[in-house]
């Protein structure tokens, strides 16, 4: 089938501002949007620029706004997008070229939540730290995050204030706060309780709707809020 | 000149590169350079598990793991290296847990383990639960955990820098040249040591589980600079890729009880591997699928078969096979178990196929997956420049790009992850030691010259052939002719075609004429590298006149230990190629017939 891709373009060496360009392309119904973009890039206009790698929704490279909603280009099929598809870079991060944005502000917020296990006790010498199936389950959902930025860049609170840590960083914080092996719960909750922390979430649910990993982000944020109010994660 | 000085530069930020960085940076000043953001690396796509004889659910021994690795590799594995890998695996999986990796747990709180292809109880020959897992995203969790630790340890990253050249002076490594993708400028990294952890080159084939980024840039550059590559004829086709797309469906599906079914509704692996059935080695299963299809037993006579994990089907066969849980109760699987243990697989099938694996079988075909060969190294990651084990001073490599060789002619499932953490760590430690023993060599004259010339020649044609056209032609011929089954005729045709494509490459043009984020230019350069590797892969496959592991020659169907129990090394010398051979290191296990 023939579709029109309406793409928001920006070339930093040529353009003063973003503008729309249309490309017609033949696709199979089961093609990914990434396949369609590749066809344009490979055979029509090599300057069309986007990040991509794994091409099956696990590396998190190709987040973009597709028909108004944040998606991974490799995780949405053409048959679900209609005959005219709009494609724009994700919002709230500086655009470098076409769909490529500067991810550094996003990763800076990720690093700000100390995204690593903190446990200064010597681990047992010849075996693992034990963890019950139930304790492991408490943070299972938030271990799925691939740092694609779909959630954070769909969040009106993040658009309004780029200093807000944003949903992705809170998901990462949740992953450690609720890990029974982590010893820095209070330090983490303090970071989350900051003015740029978890209270900026207005439960708009954009993040949940667009997460390609189907993480229940608003629930995770709610659990972090509750932990702050309770002064810990409880039993 | 954009100039950086470090003790060591690591190229690639997947599992091997990050593990090397964690260890090397304890004792040396290290930079990690990657063409991607680290968390985009393909280690993150690994699904089913990491093998280690923890024995958490049943009796197991690292020696059993080593034997399975040697047998899986069709006796081309260097057994000293396999011993090190399988012995170190136990401690290193525990170390990953200590770093915070969220493994699934057993009821008593230990790391959970599942069966995987070719991993056996050496006494009973039955599958053993050895693959430590975090649902079906084990690689994702390894990549995330190692990256988290690198942040904690303040490792310095140069993200989105494309490696272009290895610098050598006074006979030793002196650094690299990398292309900064955002600015389009070259950067010189002056260093005592360089560590290649750039992964594989599955994009040579048109049906592949590999990311777009896996184009073999580093081995191609090394080849051009006169260094050898080892065992390039051995490339693994994973039996279960999603039909037409190649997206991987983990062996963990069969570990959980899933079965392969042909067009007549038969569980055909009973014929090919009566003892271990659907959990035979990958090469064995990929060939079985091709044979079924060739004999008209694909689904509806087409070129695919089914992987079936529907609970009613699995439970029927689990009962037939008499499978039990550790407590002796009969093993069964429910729809909820599949959602819990294989969530990503269920998601891939629903997203890309519109197939729900709980109620429908999955159409699959073999997919190009893993390079057993690569840059020759010793067991501490040192790059070797000949078959006599002469090291390249300051040169290191680990992970898929390297050939230690722990995978021999066919890699066992889970062993890629074992390989990259074990040898990433060992290489990282050895590299830091090296850096503390030597002075920084001088830079060669005009260090950027080669990279500049490459970029200039790629931009020289104002019009011509798009790289994508040649890439597609290469991928198709590699799939058809240098795939699961090979013959002299198929390989000779492929060689001619690849050489023709190499000639046509002179007419490739890059339509993006800009400097910034010119991925059009990068794709052209990557194609040049892939064509190089396609040629040596085909040459090495033509050269090896036997069938062993992942290299199956219809015209030489038997393994030939008299003439071919040896590793091949290939060198490029101008327009010619040269081979040399290195004996396989045999240890406790003498080669024997390979039956599953």
Contact (CB<8Å) B520/A127? no
Cα gap A59→A145, rounded to integer Å: 10
Contact (CB<8Å) B40/A181? no
Q: Taking CB atoms and an 8 Å cutoff, what residues of chain B touch A214?
A: 347
Collapsing DSSP states into helix, strand and coil, what is residue B391? strand
Q: How many CB atoms lie within 10 A of CB B447?
A: 22
Contact (CB<8Å) A129/B97? yes
Q: Is A146 on the interface with B (CB under 8 A)?
A: yes
Chain B residue closest to A97 (CA)? B517
Assess whether B282 carries a catalytic annotation: yes
Contacts with A36 (C-beta within 8 Å, 6 or more apart), sequence order: A3, A5, A25, A27, A78, A85
Describe the crossing of helices B467-481 and B488-504 by its angle, rounded to 10 degrees: 170
CA atoms within 13 A on the CB side of B565: 14
Q: Which domains does chain A have, with CATH numbers?
A: 2-101 (3.10.20.30), 104-230 (1.10.1060.10)
Cα gap B424→B398, rounded to integer Å: 5
pLDDT by residue for chain B (596 residues), tens digit each?
899 999 999 999 999 999 999 999 999 999 999 999 999 999 999 998 999 999 999 999 999 999 999 999 999 999 999 999 999 999 999 999 999 999 999 999 999 999 999 999 999 999 999 999 999 999 999 999 999 999 999 999 999 999 999 999 999 999 999 999 999 999 999 999 999 999 999 999 999 999 999 999 999 999 999 999 999 999 999 999 999 999 999 999 999 999 999 999 999 999 999 999 999 999 999 999 999 999 999 999 999 999 999 999 999 999 999 999 888 899 999 999 999 999 999 999 999 999 999 999 999 999 999 999 999 999 999 999 999 999 999 999 999 999 999 999 999 999 999 999 999 999 999 999 999 999 999 999 999 999 999 999 999 999 999 999 999 999 999 999 999 999 999 999 999 999 999 999 999 999 999 999 999 999 999 999 999 999 999 999 999 999 999 999 999 999 999 999 999 999 999 889 999 999 999 999 999 999 99
Contact (CB<8Å) A123/B98? yes
pLDDT tens, position by position, A18-60: 999 999 999 999 999 999 999 999 999 999 999 999 999 999 9
Whether the per-residue pLDDT at A235 is higher than 70: the answer is no
Stretch A172-200: mean pLDDT, rounded? Answer: 96
Q: How many residues make up chain B in this entry?
A: 596
* 8 Å CB contact between B191 and B5: yes
Contact (CB<8Å) B514/A13? yes
Mutation target to probe the B interface, by most B beta carbons within 10 A, among A35, A48, A55 is A55
Size of interface A-B (CB pairs under 8 A): 154
* 8 Å CB contact between B530 and B474: yes
Contact (CB<8Å) A43/B466? yes
Q: Find residues 46-85 of chain A whose CB sits inside 8 Å of chain B.
A: 46-47, 49-61, 75, 77
B554 alpha carbon, distance to own chain's centre: 25
Q: What angle do CA A111, A116, A121 make, to 5 degrees?
A: 140
Partners of residue B396 on adjacent β-strands: B195, B382
Mutation target to probe the A interface, by most A beta carbons within 10 A, among B132, B519, B525 is B519
**pLDDT (0 to 100) of residue B380:** 98
Cα gap B82→B484, rounded to integer Å: 25
Q: Is A181 on the interface with B (CB under 8 A)?
A: yes
Contacts with B501 (C-beta within 8 Å, 6 or more apart), sequence order: B470, B473, B474, B531
Q: Is A184 on the interface with B (CB under 8 A)?
A: no
**pLDDT (0 to 100) of residue B448:** 98
Cα gap A170→A106, rounded to integer Å: 12
Closest approach of B305 to chain A, Cα-based (Å): 20
Q: Is A126 on the interface with B (CB under 8 A)?
A: yes
Cα gap A171→B178, rounded to integer Å: 34
Stretch A202-231: mean pLDDT, rounded? Answer: 96
Closest approach of A3 to chain B, Cα-based (Å): 19
Cα gap B47→A220, rounded to integer Å: 24
CA distances, A161 to each of A157, A158, B334 (Å): 6, 5, 46
Collapsing DSSP states into helix, strand and coil, what is residue A1? coil
Collapsing DSSP states into helix, strand and coil, what is residue B328? coil
Spell out where chain A has E strands: 2-9, 19-26, 63-66, 69-72, 84-88, 95-97, 100-101
Pick the catalytic residue from B282, B310, B382, B544: B282
Collapsing DSSP states into helix, strand and coil, what is residue A117? coil
Q: Is A19 on the interface with B (CB under 8 A)?
A: no
Cα gap B468→B4, rounded to integer Å: 34
DSSP B15-60: HHHHHHHHHHTTTS-EEEEESS-GGGSGGGG--S-EE----SSS--
Closest approach of A8 to chain B, Cα-based (Å): 16
Contacts with B121 (C-beta within 8 Å, 6 or more apart), sequence order: B58, B59, B60, B64, B127, B128
Contact (CB<8Å) B510/A139? no
* 8 Å CB contact between A165 and A109: yes
């Amino acid at each position: 089938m023939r579709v029109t891709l309406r793409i928001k373009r920006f070339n930093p060496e040529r353009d003063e501002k973003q503008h729309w360009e249309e490309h017609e392309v033949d696709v199979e119904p089961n093609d990914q949007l990434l396949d369609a973009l590749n066809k344009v890039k490979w055979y029509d206009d090599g300057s069309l620029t986007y990040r991509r790698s794994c091409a099956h929704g696990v590396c998190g490279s190709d987040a973009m706004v597709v028909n108004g909603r944040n998606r991974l280009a490799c995780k949405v099929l053409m048959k679900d997008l209609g005959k005219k598809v709009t494609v724009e870079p994700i919002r709230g991060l500086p655009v470098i070229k076409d769909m490529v944005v500067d991810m550094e502000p996003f990763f800076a917020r990720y690093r700000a939540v100390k995204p690593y296990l903190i446990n200064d006790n010597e681990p047992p010498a010849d075996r693992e730290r034990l963890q019950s199936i139930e304790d492991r389950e408490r943070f299972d959902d938030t271990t799925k995050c691939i740092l694609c930025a779909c959630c954070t860049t769909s969040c009106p609170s993040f658009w309004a204030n780029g200093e807000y840590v944003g949903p992705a960083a809170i998901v990462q914080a949740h992953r450690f706060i609720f890990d029974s092996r982590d010893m820095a719960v209070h330090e983490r909750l303090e970071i989350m309780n900051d003015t740029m922390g978890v209270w900026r979430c207005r439960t708009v649910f954009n993040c949940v709707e667009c997460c390609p990993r189907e993480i229940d982000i608003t629930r995770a944020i709610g659990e972090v809020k509750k932990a702050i109010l309770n002064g810990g994660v409880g039993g | 000149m954009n100039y950086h000085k470090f003790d060591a530069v690591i190229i690639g930020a997947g599992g091997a590169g990050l593990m090397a960085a964690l260890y090397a940076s304890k004792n040396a000043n290290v930079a990690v350079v990657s063409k991607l953001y680290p968390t985009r690396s393909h280690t993150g796509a690994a699904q089913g598990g990491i093998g280690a004889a923890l024995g958490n659910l049943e009796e197991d021994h690292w020696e059993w793991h080593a034997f399975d690795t040697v047998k899986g590799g069709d006796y081309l594995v260097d057994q000293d290296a396999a011993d090190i890998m399988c012995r170190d695996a136990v401690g290193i999986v525990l170390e990953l847990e200590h770093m915070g990796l969220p493994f699934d747990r057993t009821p008593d709180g230990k790391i959970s383990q599942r069966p995987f292809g070719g991993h056996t109880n050496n006494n009973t020959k039955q599958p053993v639960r050895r693959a430590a897992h975090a649902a079906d995203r084990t690689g994702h969790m390894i990549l995330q955990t190692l990256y988290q630790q690198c942040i904690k340890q303040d490792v310095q990253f140069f993200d989105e820098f494309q490696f272009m050249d290895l610098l050598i002076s006074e006979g030793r490594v002196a650094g690299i040249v990398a292309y900064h993708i955002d600015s389009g400028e070259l950067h010189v990294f002056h260093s005592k040591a360089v560590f290649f952890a750039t992964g594989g080159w599955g994009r040579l084939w048109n049906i592949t589980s590999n990311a777009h980024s896996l184009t073999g840039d580093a081995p191609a550059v090394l080849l051009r600079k006169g260094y050898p590559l080892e065992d390039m004829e051995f490339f693994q086709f994973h039996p279960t890729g999603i039909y037409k797309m190649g997206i991987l469906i983990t062996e963990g599906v069969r570990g959980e009880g899933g079965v392969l079914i042909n067009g007549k509704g038969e569980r055909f692996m009973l014929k090919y591997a009566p003892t271990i059935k659907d959990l035979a080695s990958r090469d064995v299963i990929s060939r079985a699928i091709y044979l079924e299809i060739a004999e008209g037993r694909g689904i509806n006579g087409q070129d695919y078969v089914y992987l079936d994990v529907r609970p009613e089907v699995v439970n029927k066969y689990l009962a037939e096979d008499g499978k039990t849980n550790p407590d002796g109760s009969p093993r069964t699987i429910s729809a909820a178990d599949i959602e819990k243990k294989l969530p990503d697989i269920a998601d891939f099938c629903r997203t890309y196929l519109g197939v729900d694996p709980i109620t429908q079988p999955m159409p699959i075909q073999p997919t190009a997956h893993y390079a057993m060969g690569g840059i020759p190294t010793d067991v501490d990651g040192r790059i070797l420049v000949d078959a006599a084990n002469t090291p390249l001073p300051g040169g290191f490599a680990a992970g898929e790009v390297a050939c230690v060789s722990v995978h021999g002619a066919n890699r066992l499932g889970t062993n890629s992850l074992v390989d990259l953490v074990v040898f990433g760590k060992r290489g990282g430690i050895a590299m830091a030691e090296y850096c503390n023993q030597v002075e920084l060599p001088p830079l060669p004259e005009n260090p950027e010259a080669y990279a500049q010339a490459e970029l200039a020649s790629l931009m020289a044609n104002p019009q011509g052939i798009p790289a994508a056209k040649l890439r597609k032609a290469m991928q198709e011929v590699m799939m058809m002719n240098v795939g699961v089954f090979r013959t002299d005729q198929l390989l000779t045709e492929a060689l001619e075609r690849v050489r023709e494509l190499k000639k046509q490459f002179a007419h490739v043009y890059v339509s993006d004429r800009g400097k910034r984020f010119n991925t059009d230019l990068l794709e052209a350069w990557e194609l040049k590298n892939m064509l190089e590797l396609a040629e040596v892969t085909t040459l090495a496959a033509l050269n090896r006149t036997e069938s062993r592991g992942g290299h199956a020659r219809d015209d030489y169907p038997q393994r030939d230990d008299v003439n071919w129990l040896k590793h091949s090394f290939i060198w490029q010398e101008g327009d010619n190629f040269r081979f040399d051979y290195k004996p396989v290191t045999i240890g406790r296990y003498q080669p024997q017939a390979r039956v599953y």
